[in-house]
């Protein structure tokens, strides 16, 4: 009686490897955006991404919030400020501050 060894299947198919690669790339991009302080992932609303102050937000300005505009957040007691600036030369764009009130007991 002859026993034939069955060919073992690879642990991950080509499709799963490609999906895993895409997920790893996406996580890498998000980590890089967080590292450089990109304004696009800082939690600001799209309507606030009017970088040239013309009253309307274009697709180019939304794209700039991911690659050209950075934000630095500071906190002093109950006051929280977000300083937006151009990443290339660190020229300021705008400073948004808000004071958080305590919750009523």
Mean of the per-residue pLDDT values of the chain: 87
* DSSP conformational letter for 38: B
- Its sign, for the CA torsion 47, 53, 57, 63, is negative
- Its sign, for the CA torsion 54, 39, 71, 38, is negative
Compute the distance between CA of residue 83 and CA of residue 95 in angstroms, rounded to an integer: 5
Q: What is the pLDDT of residue 42?
A: 86
Over residues 5-51, the pLDDT tens digits come to 666 777 888 899 999 999 999 999 999 999 999 998 888 888 888 88
Full-model pTM: 0.71
Chain centroid to Cα 39, Å, comes to 7
């Amino acid at each position: 009686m002859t026993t034939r060894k069955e060919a073992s299947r690879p642990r991950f198919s080509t499709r799963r490897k490609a999906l895993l690669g895409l997920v790893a790339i996406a996580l890498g991009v998000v980590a890089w955006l967080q590292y450089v302080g990109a304004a696009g992932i800082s939690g600001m609303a799209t309507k606030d991404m009017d970088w040239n102050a013309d009253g309307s937000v274009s697709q180019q300005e939304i794209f700039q919030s991911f690659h050209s505009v950075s934000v630095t957040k500071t906190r002093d007691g109950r006051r929280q400020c977000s300083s937006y600036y151009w990443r290339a030369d660190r020229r300021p764009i705008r400073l948004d501050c808000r004071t958080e009130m305590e919750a009523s007991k």
